C-alpha cells in the first residue's frame, strides 16, 4: 500500500516528471490532484493524469517515479468515463511548467460532469467546491452536458436519463 499523496509530494512528482521529457507536452491532472492543489483536501490516493501528446519518455519514467516517491499514478481522465467535451483543452487552467512539460488542471467542466456521473462521496464534495469557487458555472455545465448527451450511447455503463437528472439537479434546473 502506498502512502497518501500530499501536495508537496505531488509537486515533487511533477518536478521529476518534467525532467524526463525531451519533447514539449502537456500533463493534465484531474481528480484528487486538482483537489490537493486547490486545498480541498490534505491528501489523495493517487495522481490521475492524461499526457498530450503521448510521450514515451514520460510513460517510461512513471513506473520508476511511482516507486521512488511511493505514489500511485493512473493514466485516467474524465474522457475515460464520459464523452470528451468540446474545447476542454482551452478550459484547462495552467498550473506550472517543469522542463518541457506544462502541467494543467483537466477542464473543470469535464471533471465536474464525470464526478456527477460517478457520484462518490468525495466526487460530490469536489463538485460542490468547484461550484463554490466559481470554477464551474451551473448554466454552462448544463449546456456542455447537452453537447455530449448525443454521444452517451458510446458509454454503455451510463444511464443517460439518470445522468441528465443528476446534472439538472446540480445545475438547479430540475
CA dist 108 and 105 (Å) reads: 7
- The strand order across the sheet containing 25-30 reads 72-75, 46-52, 25-30, 101-105, 94-98
> pLDDT 10s digit of each residue in the chain, 174 long?
788 999 999 999 999 999 999 999 999 999 999 999 999 999 999 999 999 999 999 999 999 999 999 999 999 999 999 999 999 999 999 999 999 999 999 999 999 999 999 989 999 999 999 999 999 999 999 999 999 999 999 999 999 999 999 999 999 875
pLDDT at 2: 81
Give Cα separations from 70 to 2, 5, 65, 127 (angstroms): 6, 9, 8, 28
Of the candidates 126, 30, 144, 171, the one whose C-alpha atom is nearest the C-alpha of residue 83 is 144
SS3 78: helix
Amino acid at each position: 500500500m502506498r502512502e497518501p499523496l500530499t501536495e508537496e509530494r505531488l509537486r515533487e512528482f511533477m518536478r521529476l516528471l518534467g525532467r524526463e521529457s525531451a519533447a514539449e507536452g502537456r500533463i493534465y491532472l484531474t481528480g484528487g490532484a486538482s483537489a490537493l492543489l486547490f486545498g480541498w483536501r490534505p491528501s489523495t490516493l493517487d495522481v490521475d493524469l492524461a499526457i498530450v501528446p503521448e510521450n514515451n519518455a514520460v510513460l517510461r519514467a512513471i513506473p520508476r517515479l511511482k516507486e521512488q516517491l511511493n505514489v500511485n499514478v493512473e493514466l485516467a481522465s474524465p474522457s475515460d468515463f464520459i464523452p470528451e467535451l468540446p474545447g476542454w483543452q482551452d478550459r484547462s487552467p495552467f498550473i506550472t511548467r517543469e522542463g518541457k512539460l506544462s502541467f494543467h488542471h483537466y477542464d473543470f467542466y469535464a471533471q465536474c460532469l464525470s464526478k456527477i456521473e460517478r457520484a462518490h462521496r468525495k466526487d460530490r464534495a469536489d463538485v460542490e467546491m468547484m461550484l463554490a469557487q466559481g470554477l464551474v458555472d451551473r448554466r454552462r455545465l448544463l449546456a456542455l452536458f447537452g453537447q455530449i448527451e448525443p454521444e452517451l450511447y458510446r458509454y454503455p455503463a451510463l444511464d443517460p436519463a439518470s445522468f441528465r437528472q443528476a446534472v439538472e439537479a446540480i445545475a438547479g434546473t430540475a
